[in-house]
Amino acid sequence: MTKPTDDEIGTLLRETFADKENLVEHLPEATKHRRTPVLLAAAAVLLILGGILYAAGRGDPSPPPVAQATETVPTAQTQSADPLIWATGIEGILEREPGTKPIVLYVLDAPHEGAGDPTGGRVRGTPFTEAERVGIENALAGVARIEWIRTAGNENCDVPKSRTPIITLAPIVHKDGHVELGISSWYDCLAAHWLTFRLDQKAGSWQITGTVGPEAIS
């Protein structure tokens, strides 16, 4: 169908009103005094329809799509970096214990919600996968050897002189542009340290850039 020109649309409107105006004389008495509004309403309808057809014929672009919120759900790419993030957190909390260079690290074999919260209430999550454990071990190969344990109970307090820390990691919280990691350490079953690290990706690696929330030592 050929798109109408501006002149054709104008002619259509004039012919329509010239043809329909005489019908007003046959309207009920109650509506004759509203002759002008009736014609104006009809004209408005035709103008709108004509405008739609004209715009469609010209191929006017659709309005731009609404911007979507930034995705914060972990993707396969971000999850593949999780072992490096956990390992960086472990190194970070070890560095906060001056003079301590443990040979072995006891690490709980599952992330715990609330691991970095000194008020307690930790909740055990899904155990680390084999790939995640290997990734953490490899990243800490030059730091210390890891032994995975299920609980931080008294059965792990039989080597106090070795200053072997028990590390509890929290699930990684992925935010826009950075991540947050709760973590705690327990030395000799006596001294404890809780905090939440903020890590940012810089030069292709994850680096600790600060802490989030409270930090406590006992």
Q: At 167, which CATH number?
A: 3.10.450
The per-residue pLDDT for range 134-153, each reduced to its tens digit, is: 999 999 999 999 999 999 87
Average pLDDT, the chain: 75
The per-residue pLDDT for range 29-47, each reduced to its tens digit, is: 444 444 444 333 443 433 3
Does residue 44 lie within any of the structural domains?
A: yes
Q: How far apart are CA 216 and CA 18, in angstroms?
A: 87
Q: What CA dihedral angle connects 90, 92, 93 and 97, to 10 degrees?
A: 130
Quote the pLDDT of residue 48: 38
Count of the separate structural domains present in the chain? 2
Does residue 67 lie within any of the structural domains?
A: no
Does residue 182 lie within any of the structural domains?
A: yes
Does residue 152 lie within any of the structural domains?
A: yes
Q: Does residue 204 share a domain with residue 159?
A: yes
Does residue 65 lie within any of the structural domains?
A: no
Phi, psi of 112 (to 5 degrees): -120, 125
Average of pLDDT values for 71-76? 50
Which among 187, 203, 183 is positioned nearest to 89, based on CA atoms? 183
Domain enclosing residue 19, as ranges:
6-58
For residue 6, give every residue at least 6 positions away whose Cβ sits within 8 Å of its Cβ, in sequence order, or none: 54
Q: Does residue 118 share a domain with residue 41?
A: no
Report pTM: 0.63
Does residue 69 lie within any of the structural domains?
A: no
Does residue 52 lie within any of the structural domains?
A: yes
Quote the pLDDT of residue 78: 54
**Residue 59: is its pLDDT beyond 50?**
no
Q: Does residue 83 share a domain with residue 15?
A: no
Quote the pLDDT of residue 97: 83
**Residue 18: is its pLDDT beyond 70?**
no
**Tokens 């909740």 sit on residue:** 123
42 vs 102, more confident: 102
Quick one: angle between helices 35-58 and 6-20, nearest 10? 150
Q: Does residue 177 share a domain with residue 125?
A: yes
Q: How far apart are CA 13 and CA 5, in angstroms?
A: 13
